[in-house]
Structure 1
Amino acid sequence: MPIYICLSLAVVLLDQLIKYFVATTLPLNTSQPVISGLVSIAHIRNYGAAWSMLIGQRWFFIIISLVAVAVIGYYLKKKWTNWGYGLGLALLLGGTLGNFIDRLRLGYVVDMIQLDFINFPIFNVADCALTLGVIVLILTMIKDEQLND
């Protein structure tokens, strides 16, 4: 289980470092191309959840995050011997904590990754970890289901 905790902490650290870098070097509501036409680094504040849903519900998201951390922690302790569940849950934990820290400390989440080739909301490293964690968990569940048939 310690490897999964280290992974979660690495996600949080990477997420917070990149958010700090963006917030201190890029003016708010601006972006800089990284690969022209493909991806830019932006600096926006997200006062809601994914796609800015439920804007202004800071305490709701803080409570949901605390519940999520408890549930993820419980399942991580229970399923840590299965690498798929351990990896997926560790990514979920790191992503949840990364955005939780922003909401608690700042009242909003710093988002910075902008895909220029598609009309898609700007997101951050924690969001990537959450998405990847869900994908890993779904694939692990499908694999387990096939093994049990």
Structure 2
Amino acid sequence: MSLNATEAAAPRKRGAHTVRTVMGLGAVALAAVDLVLKAFAEALLSNGATSDLGLINFRLLYNPGVAFSLGADLPSWVVVVVTGLIIAALTFYAVSSAPAMGRISRAGATLLLGGALGNFIERLDGRGVVDYLHTGWFATFNLADVFVTAGVVLYALGTLRAVPSRDGD
């Protein structure tokens, strides 16, 4: 008994759907964790309090711009629209290419999308993104920023790992 092309493709489509669903749910879960921690930081640090943990301090700041406060002087709606368009494009690319990605790249894309979504949701009220992790030698940041950075690194590593060698292998 042989399968026709449609029947043979059905398991692959279900597998692709599962991969996309897991990536989407993972990104939403990461964004939720980020947003809960931002709310917690606001509740604890809104009176100007700080907490010194040695290498890192907790200090509340609002960043109306994007990375390193770039665009902080722009109207908040411009930052929201531009970041929303970038996130929509990243999401489309990541979701459409997810089935072809390796696990490391998918994990990276999930982290990237989760962090981007967390920061985007924070931007919607016009106050900017809540930053609370302060080192004294680097810009103040939040967990979503960690997700985005780690996601980009993992995605790049996964992509480089997947590139076939050209030395006769």
TM-score (norm 2): 0.77
Asked whether the 8 Å contact 2:31–2:114 carries over to 1, the reply is yes
Relative distance call for 1:89 and 1:28 in structure 2 (3 A) is: farther
- In structure 2, the partner of 1:8 is 27
Q: Does 1:21 align with 2:40?
A: yes
Structure 2: distance between partners of 1:89 and 1:148: 23
Structure 1: distance between partners of 2:124 and 2:165: 42
- Aligned partner (choices 140, 147, 156) of residue 122 of structure 1: 140
Asked whether the 8 Å contact 1:26–1:42 carries over to 2, the reply is yes
Q: Does 1:59 align with 2:77?
A: yes
- In structure 1, the partner of 2:14 is none
Aligned length: 144
Structure 2: give runs of 5+ residues left out of the alignment: 1-19
Asked whether the 8 Å contact 1:29–1:44 carries over to 2, the reply is no
Larger-gyration structure (1/2)? 2
Mapping of residues 1-149 of structure 1, within 5 Å: 1-27=20-46, 29-33=48-52, 35=53, 37-57=54-74, 58-81=76-99, 82=101, 83-116=103-136, 119-145=137-163, 147-149=164-166
Structure 2: distance between partners of 1:44 and 1:52: 11
Structure 1: distance between partners of 2:80 and 2:57: 29
Identity %: 27
Structure 1: give runs of 5+ residues left out of the alignment: none
Kindly provide the amino acid, as one letter, of the partner of residue 18 in structure 1: L
Please state how far the C-alpha of 1:12 moved relative to its aligned partner: 0.7
Q: Secondary structure at the match of 1:111?
A: strand
Structure 1: distance between partners of 2:151 and 2:72: 24
TM-score (norm 1): 0.86
Please state how far the C-alpha of 1:106 moved relative to its aligned partner: 4.0
Going by fraction, where is strand more abundant, 1 or 2? 1
Q: CA RMSD in A?
A: 1.7
